[in-house]
Amino acid sequence: MATKARVGLIIPSAFAGPLPKPREFAAFFRAADRLGFHSLWIIERFLHTSQILHTFTTLTWAAALTKNIKVATGVALAVFHNPILLAKMAATMDYLSGGRLILGLSLGGRPEEFPAFGISPRQRRGRLEETITILRKLWTEPRVTFQGRYFKLEGVTVAPRPATPQGIPIILGTAAEPGLRRAATMADGWIAGSGGTPEAMKETWQMIAQFAKEAGRNPDTLDAAKLLYMNVDDDKDRARERLEPFIRGYYGERFDVDRFCVFGPPQECAQGIQRYLDAGIKTIALGLPWPDVRLLERVANEVVPRLS
């Protein structure tokens, strides 16, 4: 790819209607790898009216079918995962994929998911922070003892270790100021969700960079990622017509497709994506409405080369 930007893809994984065939996903993963995309990202949701593929099962399959492309959670809902199980699952995936996992985490979740998991929303921040600390320790230390409010470990070992000696990169999905501080001080970067304008992204990234500097960290070492849904079609109305039901099936009727998505001819899509890159986004994950290889090829051959 001719651009300096890291251009990844959101795996289409939430469908209000019928699911694509497994062979369509397999072809999509292989094509993404062949075409040189940086990464494959997947959302996580447990309770929803749409059909949603399981995050880590899907990523494991994607990693098995590819050789070079990174696989990433964008984002996993950390508070619904036991940190020991999460550390084991992530470390095994990273080991088997040759160090290709990026672990995006957040403290989010739909309101109905918290009582279903037996967790109070008031515990989210503490559980997330303890989870991050435990993950880092389990991936790098031979025996881990940890005494927290929510988790207690005594001489625990997780093996095999991740392929990357320093552990798997962790980036945090957040929009609130405490979360942005957490991304700047505890994580390896930040990932913005599907909403938000380029102007908002620029302002948020500047805040994170300042928090990082205050903590003695170099913001240049942190990632700034963004999920951005799009559709390419020479007919802009047709592009929107196909994208809208896919987006609103997951995010709801109030999601502003015109403001937060890019769609239309390749040049127009590239211009919309470039605005986020110019705002400071370093890794852009593009979400198509279907695992369509021909559509993916248009993105790779007609949109990405126009990015700087």
Range of the structural domain that residue 278 is part of: 6-306
The pLDDT value given to residue 102: 98
Residue 145 lies in a domain: yes
The pLDDT value given to residue 2: 63
The pLDDT value given to residue 1: 62
Task: Determine the distance from the C-alpha atom of residue 121 to the mean position of all C-alpha atoms in its chain, rounded to a whole number.
Answer: 22
Residue 276 belongs to domain with CATH number? 3.20.20.30
Strand partners, 94: none
Match 């403290």 to its residue by tokens: 107
* Residue ranges with strand state E in the chain: 6-10, 14-15, 39-42, 51-52, 70-77, 101-106, 144-147, 152-156, 170-173, 189-192, 223-232, 262-264, 283-287
Residue type, 56: F
Residue 89 lies in a domain: yes
Residue 111 lies in a domain: yes
The pLDDT value given to residue 164: 87
The pLDDT value given to residue 3: 74
The pLDDT value given to residue 83: 98
The pLDDT value given to residue 251: 94
Residue 1 lies in a domain: no
pTM of the model: 0.97
The pLDDT value given to residue 4: 81
Residue 14 lies in a domain: yes
Instruction: Kindly report the backbone phi and psi dihedral angles of residue 16, in degrees, each rounded to the nearest multiple of 5, phi listed first.
Output: -75, -25
Per-residue pLDDT reduced to its tens digit, 69-96: 999 999 999 999 999 999 999 999 999 9
Q: Which residues lie below 8 Å from residue 24, measured CB to CB, with a gap of 6+?
A: 290, 291, 292
**pLDDT values of the chain reduced to their tens digit, one per residue, 308 residues:** 667 889 999 999 999 999 999 999 999 999 999 999 999 999 999 999 999 999 999 999 999 999 999 999 999 999 999 999 999 999 999 999 999 999 999 998 899 999 999 999 999 999 999 999 999 999 999 999 999 999 999 999 999 999 988 999 999 999 999 999 999 999 999 999 999 999 999 999 999 999 999 999 999 999 999 999 999 999 999 999 999 999 999 999 999 999 999 999 999 999 999 999 999 999 999 999 999 999 999 999 999 999 99
In the chain, how many domains are there?
Answer: 1
